[in-house]
Amino acid sequence: MNMIKTKSYFSSRWARISVLMALLMSSLSPMAHDFEVDGIYYKINGNVAAVTFKGNQFDNEHWYSGSVIIPATVTYNGTTYPVTAIGTDAFYKCVGLTSIDIPNSVTSIGTRAFEGCTGLTNIVIPNSVTSIGLRAFEACTGLISIDIPNSVTSIGFSAFQGCSRLTGIVIPNSVTSIGDLAFANCTSLTSIDISNSVTEIGPSVFESCSGLTSIVIPNSVNSIGDWAFANCTSLTSIVIPNSVTAIGNGAFQGCSGLSDVYCYIADLSRVSSGNGQFYSYSEDGDYSGRTLHVLQGTADAYRADENWYPYFGQIVEDLIPETPSGDVNGDGEVNIADANSVIHIIINGGGSGHGHAPCREGNDIYGDVNGDGEVNMADVNAIINIILSH
C-alpha cells in the first residue's frame, strides 16, 4: 500500500513541477534595455538601474561573454544611477561568460539571472545581496564554488538546480527560506552546512544529490518537505532533531545507502509523517542493514508506526536527549540560570564548577552560545535573546 501511494504521489509531484515550469517559461517576455554603457545593458527603475540584456532574450546578439565587471554606479545622459540589481534573464544562457564581478551596490539577483551560464566556474556574491531569485544559477554546470554571504535571507526555487560540479555549500545563518528544488541534482555535492536559522526544508530541495554521504538537520527545522532528500543514494546517515513536526512524502525515498537514522523526536504523536518517507526501491524489501536510533522509552511508538517500522531492520534506544541551544547548565531549559552559568564561567576563567550536567563536566563549549569560539558577555546576550524569542 505504501509503495503504490508513494509512486502516485511521485508522479503527481512531477506533474505539479511541470506546470510550474511551464508558467515560468511563459513569463519569458522581451525586456528591452534602456541604455548601454561599456557593453553592459541597463534597465532604469526609478532612480536606480538593473543589469539586463540587449533585446529579446532569445536573440543571441545580447549574450555576454568572457569577463564582465559590473560597476557600482553608471552614468547616462548626465544622470548617475546606482546599480542595485542583476535583473531577470540578465545573463540567461550566456555560455561564453567565464567570470563576473558583482559590486556591493547590488541587493538582488533576479529570476534566471545566470541560468545556463555553463562557463562560470566560481562566483562571489557580495554581502549586500539579500535575495537569490528563482532559477538564478540553474544548470550552471561548470560552477565549482559559490560563496553565499550572511546577508542573504532567501534562496529561490531551483536556484542552483543542476549545478553538477558544485561540491560543497554553506547556507549562512541569515537564510530563513530555501525554495523548492534549490539544490536538486547537484550530483557532486558531498557536504551541506545548514544554519540553525532555517525552519523549513522544502520539497525536493536536495533531491538526487547523489554525492551526499551524511546530513545533520539543525534543531531549528520544524518540517522536511516531500522528497527533500529523495534519491540521495550515497547518504549513509541522517540526524533528525526533536524540533521536526512534519516529514513529507518520500522525504528520504530512494536513499539506498542509508544505514543509520538518528531520530531525536521524543513524541512521535505530534509528528505528521508522510507516505513512504524511507522507502528505498529495494526489490526484496530488505531493510535488515538499516538501524533507527531513538531515545530511551520511545522505541515502541516507532515500532507501532507504519511510516517508520517497515523501513528498518532494527530500532534501538541508544540516544540521549538533545540539549537546546543556550542550555548551558544542562537542565533541559533555557532561562536566566544559563546566563548566570556563563557569567560564572567568565569570572572563573572556565573550568569546572559552573553547573554543567555530568555529560558536560569540565567542558565549557556549552557556554559558547553564539559559536564565536569564546565565552563572554556576547553569549549572555545570546541567551537573553533566546529567552525573549520564546
For every residue of 2-70, DSSP letters joined together read: HHHHHHHHHHHHHHHHHHHHHHHHHT------SEEETTEEEEEETTEEEEE-SS-TT-GGG---EEEE-
Return the half-sphere exposure (C-beta side, CA atoms, 13 A cut-off) of residue 93.
Answer: 7
Q: Strand, helix or coil at 224?
A: strand
Model pLDDT for residues 40-93, shown as the tens digit of each residue: 999 999 999 999 988 765 555 557 999 999 999 999 999 999 999 999 999 999
How far apart (Å, rounded) are the C-alpha atoms in residues 302 and 291?
12
Plot region of 277 (φ>0 → left; ψ -120 to 50 → alpha; else → beta): alpha
Plot region of 11 (φ>0 → left; ψ -120 to 50 → alpha; else → beta): alpha
**pLDDT given for residue 338 in this prediction:** 84
How far apart (Å, rounded) are the C-alpha atoms in residues 98 and 301?
55
The residues of the chain scoring below 70 in pLDDT are 1-31, 56-62, 282-284, 330-332, 349-365, 390
Q: Say how far residue 127 (Cα) sits from the centre of its chain.
A: 18
Which domains are present in the chain?
35-319 (3.80.10.10), 336-389 (no CATH)
Return the half-sphere exposure (C-beta side, CA atoms, 13 A cut-off) of residue 197.
Answer: 15
197 contacts 219 by C-beta, under 8 angstroms: no
128 contacts 107 by C-beta, under 8 angstroms: yes
Q: Which residues face 237 on adjacent strands?
A: 214, 260
